[in-house]
Amino acid sequence: MFAYCPECGLRYEREQGYFLGAMYISYGLALITIAALSALLWASSSWSIERAIAIASLLFLPLVPLLVTASRVLWIHLDRRLDPGAD
């Protein structure tokens, strides 16, 4: 990840541990995604709910890099909205 946006020069990591907040967003998005995938698999198959959750968790793994990136973007937007600051 770049330290600064190559387009506008925005500094991404404002302080040490800045993206800790993004982890909360990531956790929530992961739960929603896995729950939705599990429900879809469970409803469209004869699998037990435990099996559907296990398979949904495996299907979710390739989406993790996308989710981490999206979470950081959402965090930056939220943080900049609440605390525009100088940097």
Binding mask 5-44 for Zn ion (x = CB under 5 A): x-xx-x----------------------------------
Residue 22 or 37: which CB sits closer to Zn ion?
22
Classify the phi-psi angles of 4: left when phi > 0, otherwise alpha if psi is within -120 to 50, otherwise beta: beta
User: Which range touches Zn ion (CB under 5 A), out of 4-12, 17-25, 30-38, 67-75?
Assistant: 4-12
User: Min. distance of Cβ 9 from Zn ion in angstroms?
Assistant: 7
CA distance 9 to 83: 18
Pinpoint the alpha helices (H) of 20-60: 20-43, 49-60
Residue type, 54: A
Binding site residues, Zn ion, CB under 5 A: 5, 7-8, 10
